[in-house]
Copies of this chain bind each other. A is one copy, B any other.
C-alpha cells in the first residue's frame, strides 16, 4: 500500500461519514485485519483513538529502525497526551510486530477478491455492525469479512450462541439440533463455530427449521474449514445465514485464532449455551468469555457416565452456568430480563397442573384426615380422628371440608373417600 508520509495521526472519525470516507475506513480496517492477530488490543485502542486510516498512515510512515519507531511512537503519544513509559513501550513493541506484515499489503485487491466471491466487508462505522460487539472494547474485530446476504446486525439482534464438542455423542447432536430448530421458530438466530460435532448440528438444526444461523470461522471465509463442513457452510451462507470471519481471506485457522474467534461467538449471542463439552474444552473457553462479557451461560446436563458432558457438569458445579434442559429454558436465558418470550413460566405452571393430585392444597389437618379416610367401608369420626392423630372436632371439620371438596362421602353411618 502507499503511505502518505509521516503525518501526525488525525482526530477520531467524525459522526457523519460520506461514502468515500466509509470506503477509506473500510480499506484501512481491512488492512489492519491483515496486520494484526485477532484481538490485538493495542491496535484496537489505536484505531479507536485516531481512526483506522490515520493509524495506518502513521504506521506506514515509520521504518523498522528502532530510532524511527521510538520517534514515531513518541509523536503519537504526544498527540494523544499519553505520558506513560509503559504504554509507550507497549506501543513500540506492537509496531515491531505489525511492521513485518506491511510489505505487500493491498486491501483494495483483497476486498475486490472477496466481492468476486460474493462476499463483503463490514466495519463498526457502518450500519450492519452487530451492536453487541461494542462490549468487546479494544479487542473488537477490525472488521468482519462476510459471506451471506442477510444484514449482519439485524440477524444477530436476537441470537443465541450454541457451542460444544467436536467429539460429541448422538445425544448431544440431537439436543443441539432440536434446540436450534426450535430457536428459529421463536425468532432466534443461532451462532456457532462451523466445526464438526455440536457446531454442525446447530447450523443444520437452524437450516432444517428455517431459522437464520451464523458461523464464525477462525480462518478466512474463502477457505471453508473444516473441509468436511464446506457444503454445510455454503448452505448456511446461501440459506439466509452468514459465514463470518475477522481475519482476511487466505488466512489459515491457527489454534490461537480459534481461541480468539471464540470471543466473537460469545459476544454475538445474547447468551451462550454449551451443549456437550469435555472436561477441558474450547467450549468452556467460550463460556468463560461470555461470562467475562456478562452474558448468561447455560449448560446442558447429560449422563454422568458420558465424558462428553463432563465440561457441562463442571460449569454447573462451579456455578458458572445455568442448567438448561429444553428450548423454553434456552429462550429464557437469551431473553432480556423481564421479557420471557418463551413460555417458560407457562410451561412450569402446566407441568405443575398436569401433576395435580386430589389432596393438593389441603391444609395439614385435613390432609391427615383425608389420609385416614377408609377407601372401602366408611368409618366413624372418632375412629378417623384417632387414625389421623387429630381431635374429634378436627376430624369432623376435616371430613366436612373434604365432603365439600368432593373427596369424602357418607357411607352408612360413617365416611369414606370418594377418590382413592
Interface string of A283-325 (1 = CB under 8 A from B): 0000000000000000011111100011011001101001111
Q: Which residues of B contact A316 (CB under 8 A)?
A: 301, 316, 323
Chain B contacts for A359, CB-based, 8 A: 255
**Please, which residues of chain B bring their CB within 8 A of the CB of A386?**
100-101
**Contact, CB under 8 Å: A99 / B371:** no
Chain B residues with CB below 8 A from A312, complex form: 301
A378 to B317, CA, bound (A): 45
**Other-chain contact of A317, B96, B305, B322 (Cβ < 8 Å):** B322
- Contact (Cβ within 8 A) A96 B280: no
Residues of B within 8 A of A40 (CB): 389
Q: Is the CB of B310 within 8 A of A325?
A: yes
Known A-B contacts A279-B355, A371-B255; A303 and B303 likewise in contact (beta carbons under 8 Å) = yes
Q: Report the separation of the CA atoms of residues A47 and B309 in the bound assembly, to the nearest whole angstrom.
A: 51
> With A175-B304, A256-B371 given, is the CB distance from A280 to B325 under 8 Å?
no
**Given the complex, which residues of B lie within 8 Å of A90, measured CB to CB?**
none
CA distance A325 to B318 in the complex (A): 13
Cα distance A100–B256 in the bound complex, in angstroms: 78
Contacts known (A256-B368, A372-B254); A279 close to B309, Cβ less than 8 A:
no
* A77 cross-chain contacts in B, Cβ below 8 A: none
A356 shortest CB reach to chain B, Å: 10
Interface residues of A in 363-400 (CB under 8 A from B): 367-368, 371-372, 382, 385-386, 388-394
B352–A389 CB distance below 8 A = no
Does chain B have a CB within 8 A of A97? Answer: yes
A326 interface residue (CB < 8 Å to B): yes
A280 adjacent to B171 (CB under 8 Å): no
Complex partner residue of A303 from B37, B96, B302, B317, CB under 8 angstroms:
B302
Contact between B355 and A280, CB atoms less than 8 A apart: yes
Kindly state the interface size class of chain A when it binds its partner: 35 or more
B323 touches A171 (CB 8 A): no
In this complex, the member of A97, A99, A171, A175 whose beta carbon has the largest number of chain B beta carbons within 10 angstroms is A97
Instruction: Indicate whether A109 reaches chain B with its CB closer than 8 angstroms.
Output: no
The yes or no answer to A351 lying at the interface (CB within 8 A) is yes
Tell me the bound Cα distance from A310 to B323 in angstroms: 11
Asked whether any CB of chain B lies closer than 8 Å to the CB of A199, the reply is no
Give chain A interface residues in 191-237, CB to chain B under 8 Å: none
Chain B residues contacting A388 (CB-CB under 8 Å) are 37
> CB within 8 Å of B: which of A35-61?
35-37, 40
Interface membership of A410, Cβ < 8 A: no
Complex Cα distance, B99 from A16, in Å, reads 88
Q: What distance in Å separates the Cβ of A170 from its nearest Cβ neighbour in chain B?
A: 11
Of the residues B256, B326, B367, B390, contact of A304 by C-beta under 8 Å: B326
The answer to whether B371 touches A171, judged by C-beta atoms less than 8 angstroms apart, is: no
Contact A368 B37 (CB under 8 A): yes
List of B residues within 8 angstroms of A305 by Cβ: 171, 174-175
CB-CB under 8 A from A310, the residues of chain B are 325
**Interface presence of A246 (CB below 8 A):** no
Report B-chain residues with C-beta under 8 Å of the C-beta of A329. 317
Nearest CB of chain B from residue A297's CB, rounded to whole Å: 13
A79 at the interface (CB under 8 A from B): no
User: Residue on B with the closest CB to A365?
Assistant: B97
Q: Are B391 and A254 in contact (CB under 8 A)?
A: no
Shortest CB-to-CB span from A150 to chain B, Å, is 30
Q: Which 7 A-B pairs have the closest CB atoms?
A: A96-B391, A301-B301, A37-B389, A316-B323, A304-B325, A97-B391, A317-B323
